[in-house]
Structure 1
């Protein structure tokens, strides 16, 4: 096992959006980083190079988090190359944009893929990384969830359900992995990112947030601020679910 003085963070879905913002904030905080991706290799490599410009050792690593065997291979590679893992951000997610009233349009393959990536994936990665996280001075897992878990409103019923499951799993894992590893979740509201713009160009973010107490969509760095708070600073917080949503859920 390699001995490294710098802490190490793994961010799944780390090439774009909130994941990218997390990677760069970890780099600024003195972490080396692994930028996990499933398909967006160009984005992941670009994010890794930007993290390197901030002084980090950064690598892009391909892995579909819903594939348990591939996940275990990824974690083994991280252990071999870095010798430690101090923070894990389960950010990788997917959705289908299906109007909630169109029940028949939400197909079983859609359900299966959303649950595989959004719910099973964070469990697979956390389980595979558990020993590495426990081996340090105190590891941290942060799950990127959604306010859809509370409101039942979002891109599809399946997406809302998968994020509600992730919140409950956060609490279960916080108990199971204590006291060495803290596990928390951040629940964003609408984010001004490619996720929504490409996923459903008909959504008007400005009108969506117009009646919020803070009437503007979050930027990826707004969410990364909360992720880094749990991952690095909040040493006595575990099992917590934090909404970062401009007051949407008040």
Structure 2
């Protein structure tokens, strides 16, 4: 297979967790994969090595998705190296663990960083990728959001606000970019990953999910399964928000 004949996926925040799981699943399906990271270089390189071991092309690109110039440089590199882009997964995210009732602890700097990465970032990357996605037979964008965007419950108020905005933006982009580009979002509940374990060691995942219809946290591959469905498993689905949460939202009165 010539490089230009192979489908290409770009996954932001692909060094660890859900992003890594998505990158690996694309690679197992024969995609060339662009692994984006911001700070986790060693983990990004390991993900790339694991993809390379599967016999498919892989690139590692450092870019802070909240910085428009870095995003544009990343997409220029994708075009120059591969000449195409078929799937974009906006997975990069940021948060801080701040009690919702402690309004003073939710600083301006934290607000700006969280909304910059979680909301501006997906817009910047999608805008920069749109022309390349549209040049082929039709592209797909999948935003990794959160049930926090529905419930208002999560690591901090800014995080919930950013994911609520991302959910709405998913619908807006689906309207704006169709029919050539589909845009959907996967909204995870609690994930058994470094994100929670290191972010707030005081959170007990087992206790958190005890009253869910499926009383277990998801694994990164559970979320990647849903991402891959939106990316390549359907042709006429756009503007949809899919909760992958063990039934968490059914427990909210």
Shorter-chain TM band: over 0.9
Which residue of structure 2 aligns with residue 233 of structure 1? Answer: 233
| 1:22 matched residue in structure 2 | 22
Separation of aligned partners in 1, 2:154 and 2:88: 25
Query: 1:51-70 maps to which residues of 2 (within 5 A)?
Result: 51-70=51-70
d(CA) in 2 for partners of 1:209, 1:235 = 33
Q: Are 2:55 and 1:85 equivalent residues in the alignment?
A: no
- The Cα shift of 1:234 comes to 1.2
Distance 1:90 1:16 in 2: 14
Q: Report the counterpart of residue 114 of structure 2 in structure 1.
A: 114
1:47 aligns with 2:47: yes
Structure 2 unaligned spans of 5+: none
Query: What SS does the aligned partner of 1:4 have?
Result: helix
Task: Work out whether 1:97 is the aligned partner of 2:91.
Answer: no
Task: Give the 3 Å change call, closer, same or farther, for CA 211–242 of structure 1 in structure 2.
Answer: same
Displacement of 1:130 after TM fit? 0.5
Q: Which runs of 5+ in 1 are unaligned?
A: none
1:183-231 CA-to-partner distances (Å, cap 9, x unmatched) read: 0000000000000001000000000000000000000000000000000
Secondary structure of the structure 2 residue equivalent to 1:30: coil
How big is the alpha-carbon RMSD for the aligned residues of Structure 1 and Structure 2?
0.8
Aligned pairs, number: 249
Q: Distance in 1 between matches of 2:56 and 2:202?
A: 38
Taking structure 2 as the reference length, the TM-score comes to 0.97
The structure 1 segments of at least 4 consecutive aligned residues displaced by more than 2 Å after TM superposition are none
CA distance in 2 between partners of 1:169 and 1:139 (Å): 17
Q: State the 1:96 CA deviation.
A: 0.7
Looking at structure 1, the residues matched to 148 and 55 of structure 2 have their Cα atoms a distance apart, in angstroms, of 36
How far apart are residue 30 of structure 1 and its match? 1.1
